[in-house]
Structure 1
Amino acid sequence: MQIESGCDSRRDLPIGMFDSGVGGLTVLKALRRRMPCESILYLGDTARLPYGTKSAETVTRYALQASARLVERDIKLLVVACNTVSATALEPLRNAYPGIPVIGVVQPGAQASCRASATGRIAVIATESTIRGRAYERAIHAIRPDAQTTGAPCPLFVPLAEEGWLDGPLVEGIAARYLNPIFHPASGSGRPETPDCLVLGCTHFPLLAGAIRNVIGDGVTIVDSAAITAKAVEAELRARGLERRATECGETRFMATDDVPRFSRTGGLFLGTPVAPDEVELVDL
């Protein structure tokens, strides 16, 4: 499929998005807010989540399969609404679909953190796979070579978000175990000065932003890559002449690879609006 710049026939096609589950709905929510006229087709690969504990080879295979299902429905732009895939499989996706713009969440988040940090000390929290791949570190240093980056995996944040456990002593206690070594190191530990910017490097993590803020304090800028990614999508569509010109709100459609009732229930939590089970199509990859 090839996309011609400024081609009116493609303006009304949907934006395709995929994630390993419902976390990418935080990106969808940001897209809806920024571009309400755009139609969106979202795929959650709920049968094979989480991606964050899988090998790079497996993540790439899953990403190509999920994206193929979206591309066959005819889309004008592909959003990789998953930090793990953005960190490991963006180039294979771009090679697979050279005529379709592919936007991940890592690069926009890295750019925003470099702008937001006054000191260049930037912390990134994400899944184990994203931290292990060091994609944010590479992206940040490419923009700001003098930056000092610290990465920390926070695997328990994902199930907490999906269960709707977003605040309270238990959640803040877990957040403190992950974040205190970075933002409140023990005296005499020999650690460098603490970061002034924190990147939420997983699309689940914005739901826990309140608990995270209570742990790290008010002096740290939190970068939510979902909102930054929505801005990048808008800019890409405008640059290619592909923004939808209709005045009515676009349509949002959902697909999941397993457990539609759970996708519906948890998806409503991430979107802030109900997702009825009959709005979710069960697909096999």
Structure 2
Amino acid sequence: MIGIFDSGMGGLTVMRAIRDVLPDSDIIYFGDIKHAPYGSRSRSELSVLTAQAVKRLQMNGATKIVSACNSLSASLAVSVFDVFSLEPGHIIEMVGPTVSYLKDVDAHVMLVATPATIDSELYQQAFQMLGKDVQYTGISDLAGAIEFGASRQKIKEIIEYSFEGKERNFDLLVLACTHYPLVTDIFQEVFGKEIRIFDPAFAVAERAKKLFWPQEVGNGTTKFLISEDSEFFRERVAEMFPESPFTIEVV
């Protein structure tokens, strides 16, 4: 069983992409809505939340883990996973697959993410090692606004404010927070149709298929665990996974 976790509904974009490439896999998803958004939390807090999420997924049968949250990548220390006896190749985070996918892309890249992701400098270090020049912008409060159902206008204002006074000399926008693809159309409206937008969920899904198939061939079951009930989460799940039955449990 594949276990996926995030601070709320953002990771559903990753789960959707994985479900598309591994339709028969059994998937359990943990949305830690109670502690959302993760992007504003400290490194030490994120380490604790990561360990708690992995433990919860394992207790519910997950043997493969996908961290569907860019802000957590800096917290995925090997020591954390050694505690839970996860085998090599049974863990996927967001940064590695994203950087690998983009390394040969010919484009002027702007990567947008939460402040926690930008401050971790994981993307900066990875792209620098490849000799690839990438621009970065941290967007405060956007993940939370999406998670808790802010208006379209409010979300647009947050994005526009983050780019005030900045040159827009890029042609590829990388949405390095799993919440952001849920409002791709608003990003497109702000930056124009000529800007290409990349959702890292596709790179992560391809990595999952490479590492988890054919071991993860099951009955295609889907289960959601959430740490706090949310009407917005339930509505988004129903919208994104209409093809099969699922259960949602508040834990």
From 163, 186, 195, give the equivalent of 1:179.
163
Return structure 1 stretches of 4+ with deviation > 4 angstroms: 163-167, 180-183
Structure 2: how far apart are the matches of 1:39 and 1:98?
A: 18
Q: Which residue does 1:190 correspond to in 2?
A: none
* Alignment map for 1:199-218 (pairs within 5 Å): 199-218=174-193
Deviations along 1:160-219, one digit per CA (max 9) or x if unpaired, are 32344575x5543432222354453xxxxxxxxx23322111011001111212222344
Structure of greater Rg: 1
From 235, 241, 246, give the equivalent of 1:265.
235
Deviation (angstroms), 1:256: 0.9
Q: Which residue does 2:207 correspond to in 1?
A: 232
TM-score with structure 2 setting the length: 0.87
Q: 1:204 to 1:127 in 2, by over 3 A?
A: same
Q: 1:25 to 1:77 in 2, by over 3 A?
A: same
Q: 1:18 to 1:139 in 2, by over 3 A?
A: same
* CA contact 2:149–2:232 (8 Å) conserved in 1: no
CA RMSD of aligned residues (A): 2.6
Deviation (angstroms), 1:262: 4.8
From 221, 231, 242, give the equivalent of 2:215.
242
Structure 2: how far apart are the matches of 1:111 and 1:183?
A: 26
Q: 1:280 to 1:265 in 2, by over 3 A?
A: same
Report whether the alignment pairs 1:88 with 2:75.
yes
* Alignment map for 1:1-285 (pairs within 5 Å): 14-96=1-83, 97-99=85-87, 101-116=90-105, 118-119=106-107, 121-142=108-129, 144-145=130-131, 147-164=132-149, 167=152, 170-179=154-163, 181-184=165-168, 194-238=169-213, 241-244=214-217, 250-268=220-238, 271=240, 273=242, 279-283=247-251
Structure 2: how far apart are the matches of 1:224 and 1:206?
A: 6
Structure 1: how far apart are the matches of 2:198 and 2:78?
A: 24
* CA contact 1:113–1:122 (8 Å) conserved in 2: no
Deviation (angstroms), 1:60: 0.5
Structure 2: how far apart are the matches of 1:263 and 1:61?
A: 23
Between the two proteins, the alignment pairs up a number of residues equal to 249
**Structure 1: runs of 5 or more not aligned:** 1-13, 185-193
Structure 2: how far apart are the matches of 1:180 and 1:197?
A: 18
Aligned to 1:129, the other structure's residue is in SS state helix
Deviations along 1:27-54, one digit per CA (max 9) or x if unpaired, are 1111111211111001111111221111
Structure 2: how far apart are the matches of 1:90 and 1:220?
A: 35
* CA contact 2:7–2:36 (8 Å) conserved in 1: yes
Q: 1:282 to 1:170 in 2, by over 3 A?
A: closer
TM-score with structure 1 setting the length: 0.78
Structure 2: how far apart are the matches of 1:267 and 1:200?
A: 20
Give, as a single letter, the amino acid of the residue that structure 1 aligns with 2:142. F
Structure 2: how far apart are the matches of 1:49 and 1:173?
A: 21
Q: Which residue does 1:4 correspond to in 2?
A: none
The percent of aligned pairs where both chains have the same amino acid is 27
